[in-house]
Structure 1
């Protein structure tokens, strides 16, 4: 993919992204044969987590009559989950079911 994030920064955010993916796929991804979609998803989510952390929920700020607006965490969570679904919807676990299947 060749992103611009420094390796040390990417290592930290990719670990967070990997844990997010593992939690939302219920550990159903075959770690001995990680699909490329999972790798792409990890990079994309790592990038989004970095942006979220940098923004810290701030959506706007004014100086005159000072005011700050913060984004709801639900928006961030929705963006992360939408990214997860976008990349992993068609990825299958060893049992043939979707890695996103909650009842499998």
Structure 2
């Protein structure tokens, strides 16, 4: 019996999604040809939020001129309260002893 025949529907759907996600991520560099840094960071952040099912992503980068910039992305439809998120992350970092 083939190993693929032994997979249940849930496992097969998860494998198909993973393969689709890998294909999507591998195509990103082709979209970045002639794109500026902010466009690249935005595309990367959007892809990571969707593919990895994250609560949020922040991409920090430097422009060709040496300016520091960052792009933050959160799942669509989710309310974004950046002040609350920052306070929560600082409280968590403080309670764990991590430095921000």
Q: Which has the larger radius of gyration?
A: 2
Q: TM-score higher than 0.5 here?
A: no
Q: TM-score, normalised by structure 1?
A: 0.30
Structure having greater relative contact order (Cα 8 Å, sep ≥ 6): 1
Judging by fraction of residues, say which structure has more helix: 2
**TM-score if structure 2 supplies the norm length?**
0.31
